[in-house]
Amino acid sequence: MGIYPEGEKYSSIWVHTVSVGEFNASIPVIEALLNSAGTHQVLITTTTSTASSLVNKVFGDKVKHVFFPYDIPLILRRLIRKYNPKKLILMETELWPNLLSLCQKQEIPVLLINARLSNRSFNRYQLLYSLMSEVVGPVTSIGAQNIQYVERFEKIGYPREIIQVTGNLKFEVNYESSLSGELKGLFDKHFCKRMILVCGSTRPGEESRLMPILGHLRKRFANLLIVIAPRHPDRVAEVGKLCLQAQLKCHYRSEPWMWKEEPDVLILDTIGELSTCYSVASVAFVGGSLQPYGGQNVLEPIYFGVPSLAGPYTANFQEEVKALSATGALDLIGDEGEFYDRVSYLLENDQKREALGSRGKKLIESERGSLLRTLKILNEYDEAT
């Protein structure tokens, strides 16, 4: 992407999302912006290559996309000069002092949406309270996920009058819109008679812990297909080696779907197809949670009515985990033994599996409404654009 060379000038609405999770949550907002932006371009910045690939896959040339240059003033000035943002929309907790200062100097409204402040971030900002003016002053409005986050933002210095509860945009995501018809067709053609366990967004140290258990499950359930989707696609070869060591026959999604023996494991080595895998799952495990990574998006499989498991490390999704656990649709497991017992129970009890998945799906439907509240905030600043 270079450093935003001079050339064609734009007038834009700028949305900054860090990684895949934040981008997915922002999709309903971006779709609404595209419908109402008028002559303005929608500029999306991300910091990870996987999020970048997903932006291109979901929106293509409907939006402008560049990588975020972190908080480097010289490059940020060039980006702002080139894309001329009329407002900046930040997702969750993206408080970059230099970026915010530049926006304040150029009178660009800064709107923090789907805002959250984890215990860790809250404690860190409290320690830096004397320096918070650098990120407090420039923020125009905050739409927080819940009242607890409202109180935390207020305690670190944000005026109460600029903060309101808007709810969690992750409940608004329509995962069906991103399904791959081709992959769904392949599942229907080749695996329609198999139960499917999806281990999604797995991280280093998790696959190696689960692999022996997955081998035992495969022996216990003769028609079980295991789908493993590493959080980072560059780790697929590593996961493949672990499958071979566990004597599990594996197949990569990107390879031609031809085999002498049906695979035990399908390894997802493509971007943007995890939702499709969840949509055909019998049971799901959401990774980043068995090791201390903070967890991944537990809403995605349950959106499709799939009862799910997660490990004990889910700090990044505390509210979602709490709500879904209360329905029974999400079960928190402490170790590999509990993983084996819970997956076995769910695979053996069709009615229970369907009932739990249905409860979780109904909860997600009941929590919607944050998109309209968020758009109301954004629309208040349209006159400035």
Q: In this model, does residue 385 exceed pLDDT 60?
A: no
Residue 333 and residue 186 share a domain = yes
Give the residue-averaged pLDDT of 244-248. Answer: 96
Instruction: Give the tens place of pLDDT for each residue, 9-27.
Output: 668 999 999 888 899 899 9
**What region, left, alpha or beta, does residue 167 occupy, with left being phi > 0 and alpha being psi -120 to 50 degrees?**
left
d(CA 352, CA 354): 5
Q: Which two tokens stand for residue 34?
A: 């595209």
Provide the residue range defining the domain that includes 207.
179-366
Please name the residue that has the structure tokens 């140290």: 205
Residue 213 and residue 133 share a domain = no
Residue 208 and residue 148 share a domain = no
Domain tally, the chain: 2
Residue 346: count of CB within 10 angstroms of its CB: 23
Structural domain includes residue 3: no
pLDDT at 135: 66
In terms of pLDDT, which residue wins out, 310 or 53?
310
Burial of 291 (0-12, 13-18, 19+ CB in 10 A): middle
Structural domain includes residue 16: yes
Distance from chain centroid for Cα 308: 16
CATH number for the domain including 76?
Answer: 3.40.50.11720
In terms of pLDDT, which residue wins out, 273 or 3?
273
Structural domain includes residue 5: no
pLDDT at 9: 62
pLDDT at 384: 45
Q: Which two tokens stand for residue 105?
A: 């100097």
Mean of per-residue pLDDT scores for the chain: 91
d(CA 40, CA 56): 19
Instruction: Give the tens place of pLDDT for each residue, 110-144.
Output: 999 999 988 888 888 777 766 666 666 789 999 99
Among 29, 148, 35, residue whose Cα is nearest residue 90:
29
Residue 202 and residue 145 share a domain = no
Choose, from 6, 8, 22, 273, the residue flagged as catalytic: 22
Structural domain includes residue 40: yes
Residue 281 and residue 136 share a domain = no
Distance from chain centroid for Cα 20: 5
Instruction: Give the tens place of pLDDT for each residue, 88-105.
Output: 999 998 888 899 999 999
Question: Alpha helices of 109-249 — where are they, by DSSP H?
Answer: 119-127, 133-136, 147-155, 181-190, 206-220, 236-245
d(CA 94, CA 45): 12
Residue 189 and residue 318 share a domain = yes
Is residue 48 a contact partner of residue 22, using CB atoms and an 8 Å limit? no
Residue 330 and residue 206 share a domain = yes
pLDDT at 129: 62
Residue 306 and residue 268 share a domain = yes
Instruction: Give the tens place of pLDDT for each residue, 194-223.
Output: 999 999 999 999 999 999 999 999 999 999
Instruction: Report the first-to-last Cα separation within the chain, whole angstroms.
Output: 26
Helix H or strand E segment including 370: helix 370-379
Helix H or strand E segment including 351: helix 350-366
DSSP category for residue 94: -
Among 114, 179, 99, 185, residue whose Cα is nearest residue 378:
114
Please name the residue that has the structure tokens 């654009």: 385
Structural domain includes residue 4: no
Structural domain includes residue 1: no
d(CA 145, CA 142): 10
pLDDT at 5: 53
- The CA R_g of the chain, rounded to the nearest whole Å, is 22
Instruction: Give the tens place of pLDDT for each residue, 27-85.
Output: 999 999 998 867 789 999 999 888 999 999 899 999 999 999 888 999 999 999 999 99
Residue 153 and residue 244 share a domain = no
Structural domain includes residue 139: yes
Is 273 a residue of the active site?
no
Burial of 157 (0-12, 13-18, 19+ CB in 10 A): middle
DSSP per position, 141-160: EEEESSHHHHHHHHHTT--G
Instruction: Give the tens place of pLDDT for each residue, 316-368.
Output: 888 899 999 999 999 999 999 999 999 999 999 999 999 999 999 999 999 99
d(CA 343, CA 282): 10
Residue 270 and residue 155 share a domain = no
Structural domain includes residue 245: yes
d(CA 316, CA 350): 31
Residue 348 and residue 377 share a domain = no
Residue 292 and residue 249 share a domain = yes
pLDDT at 218: 97
d(CA 190, CA 258): 10
Report the predicted TM-score, pTM, of the whole model to 2 decimal places: 0.84
Among 110, 60, 118, 66, residue whose Cα is nearest residue 90:
110
CATH number for the domain including 210?
Answer: 3.40.50.2000
d(CA 42, CA 62): 8
DSSP category for residue 118: -
Q: Which two tokens stand for residue 380?
A: 């208040």
At 380, the pLDDT band (50, 70, 90 cuts) reads: confident
